[in-house]
Structure 1
């Protein structure tokens, strides 16, 4: 039986795209008969005991450390996580250490892998320096940006194998000089066991949100600047002029929420609904109210290189998907087949594309079926998990 210790930034019970991908990987590996556990670093956001069993998965926590200025804090984080990994190696006796981004996790795991002679897999979900730019906490080309980029390369060189979530990240690493045969793509996917038949729309919830008899455009996710929600709001006057029943439903929250609410106080404010954050278990009820899921991400390194999870979940729910024409979306959406693409940061084109899509309801069933079929064929975690098997086996045999 293959025993794998996953090194993570955070995990369940926190809810994020990161934790849902982690859950999917670990549950799918358990289904293969592998013995898996996870350990989170000091950035795990929720208080709790040093060990938790959640959804049948063992998670260990790293004790908190004092607040210190950067970069001393990051160095201490690496040390604290490395010490915890080392402790757990005596308990879990893993065959493989599998570190997931950010790079701090890989650097901590590398210390233990060297000490104990264990193979190390480093899985990159996004480059940390680009994620900081996308979240507004970093600037491309700055000293900090270049330093983190150098650490990423060091972690990649130290790891025995590298996994990335999309071709954009793979191509970028190859352009940096990383050998192509060291990299495996394990794309974002969906646990289809969690996505059965979409629920029927909740008439009471629809009325409470003021969406009766509306054509509903929806966004469900975190309100970060790079998501481009401001462009979607800016498109609403033209969309309402073309489709008077159109309404925009925004579900979620985040750093840009106050600015977005202020922007929405416009002549079409009655056509824009903020639902706020909702419990994860209730999200399907909101999906069921939406005609078209819109993902207007802006064009930047992060969005060009990284594929998001939400469009796949929408396709699994048999929802219509419209998204900006950027690299991360083009890996998921075939324009006119599994969804529709519009120009990024272009409210006029967003409005025109959505109006045209709302006018072509006769095409929707074929698009829904094509999207669901794509997820079933290429992005179901029960199949995706097989991509790890030859990587692990090669490293274990080599050891």
Structure 2
């Protein structure tokens, strides 16, 4: 089978790792996959090379222009550009279809994207959609301006898809509420390639010493620090457990806009010796830092996204504490796969952390 994989991302963060994994999986099933990316983007070459925090990475050429547009263009103008991107997508898909028979188009959903739906319907080619978001999701990093127009584009697009894969049941339910046939929707959470985790790096005692984490029970998180991660809750929990005399610490690997606020909180609570911020870490080094964690903690997240780092933690054998949110409940069962707590219940989170701190066999 010949599959066109089309996306509109920069393909350098977790989305790049995911794209590469899907491409390799399709190839593993004997498919020929042609990856269609925005100009200057090649996830197959660059996925996994970007640090957890990409904000300070220097780019050149058109990639630099894309980054400037993403960061500085007003949301209204950005949405008009998203609509205009349909022309580029249509041309790219049409040219690829001219080069030989196409058995299907696999596309990562993007706001205002309709070119593929129109072209696939016209050519009689199946369109498979992978949706990591939909119009109207709460707490989106980039707020929507023309939501009603986006809803119309989205309904045209999704109603013409042959099948849709959503990364969470929350997104599936939103689509069903919008009138999409539930029989054409399958919930497929994000994942990792287990082959890449067969040989795990050992815990690095030198790195632990350099970070001041020797002889500590290390709780932590890895990723871009978003508002919805509510890492302030984890920091407070570390303070509570330390005041109880437990030798605990928090390791926060990555960066984000909320980091200055978190650092101020650490200073206010006098936890400078118990909370470590690594800053941006190259993805090639992330496992080395992650192996210092005794327990991985999600103090909060969002209702719609399937966090790739959750599966990375599990592949590395890290016990997980996480909130009862739809994407978490899609894959984890309390007491079997992880210790879960009600959303934003700080006392319950502290109880779960305390339980693992006192029970080494449970951590294993």
Query: Is the structural similarity TM-score above 0.5?
Result: yes
Q: Which residue of 2 is the match for residue 393 of structure 1?
A: none
Q: Is 1:362 paired with 2:361? A: yes
Partner of 2:108: 100
- Aligned equivalents of 2:3 and 2:134: distance in 1? 23
Partner of 1:262: 264
**If the length of structure 1 is used for normalisation, what is the TM-score?**
0.78
1:365-388 Cα distance to aligned partner (Å, 9 max, x none): 2xxxxxxxxxxxxxxxxxxxxxxx
Q: Distance in 2 between matches of 1:239 and 1:349?
A: 13
- Determine which of 297, 300, 303 is the counterpart of 2:300: 297
TM-score by length of 2: 0.85
Query: Number of matched residues?
Result: 341
Distance 1:279 1:160, change over 3 A: same
Which residue number corresponds to residue 17 of structure 2? 20
d(CA) in 1 for partners of 2:34, 2:195: 21
- Paired position in structure 1 for 2:332: 333
**Residue matched to 2:213:** 211
**Alignment partner for residue 138 of structure 1, among 136, 143, 147?**
143
Residue matched to 2:344? 345
Find the aligned partners of 2:99 and 2:261 in 1 and give their Cα distance: 48
1:54 alignment partner, one of 36, 42, 45: 45
TM-fit CA distance, 1:26: 0.8
Report SS of the residue matched to 1:313: helix
**Is 1:307–1:332's contact at 8 Å kept on the other side of the alignment?**
no
Moved beyond 4 Å, runs of 4+:
62-68
Aligned to 1:371: none
8 A contact 1:138–1:145 mirrored in 2: no
- Is 1:244 equivalent to 2:246 in the alignment? yes
Paired residues of 1:242 and 1:355 also in contact (CA < 8 A): no
The answer to whether residue 279 in structure 2 is matched with residue 281 in structure 1 is: no
Question: Is the 2:20–2:43 Cα contact (8 Å) retained in structure 1?
Answer: no
Report the structure, 1 or 2, having the larger helix content: 1
Q: Deviations over 1:191-237 (max 9, x none)?
A: 11101143221011111111010110010011111122122123222
Residues 57-89 of structure 1 show CA distances to partners (whole Å, capped at 9, x for unaligned) of xxxxx9979967244322212222222222222
2:130 to 120, 123, 128: 123
**Among candidates 27, 47, 58, match of residue 30 of structure 1:** 27
SS in 1 for 2:99: helix
Provide the rounded CA distance (Å) in 1 between the counterparts of 2:134 and 2:101.
Answer: 29
1:186-205 matches, cutoff 5 A: 186-205=188-207
Q: Give the equivalent residue in structure 1 for 2:83.
A: 75
Structure 2 residue 158 is the aligned partner of structure 1 residue 156: yes
Distance of 1:147 and 1:296 partners within structure 2:
35
Q: Quick check: 252-261 or 122-131, which moved more?
A: 122-131
Give unpaired runs (5+ residues) of structure 1. 57-61, 366-399
Residue 384 of structure 1 aligns with which residue? none
Secondary structure at the residue paired with 1:304?
coil
Change (3 A) 1:296 1:334: same
Is the 8 Å Cα contact of residues 168 and 326 (structure 2) preserved in structure 1? no
Structure 1 residue 38 displacement after superposition: 1.4
Q: 1:335 to 1:247 in 2, by over 3 A?
A: same
The answer for the alignment partner of 1:39 in structure 2 is 36
Q: Secondary structure at the match of 1:217?
A: strand
Separation in structure 2 between the aligned mates of residue 304 and residue 79 of structure 1, nearest angstrom: 32
The alpha carbon displacement at 1:260 in A equals 1.9
* Cα 1:170/1:318, change in 2 over 3 Å: same
Show CA shifts across 1:140-167 (max 9, x none): xxx6344433432221112222222233
Deviating more after overlay: 95-104 vs 169-178: 169-178
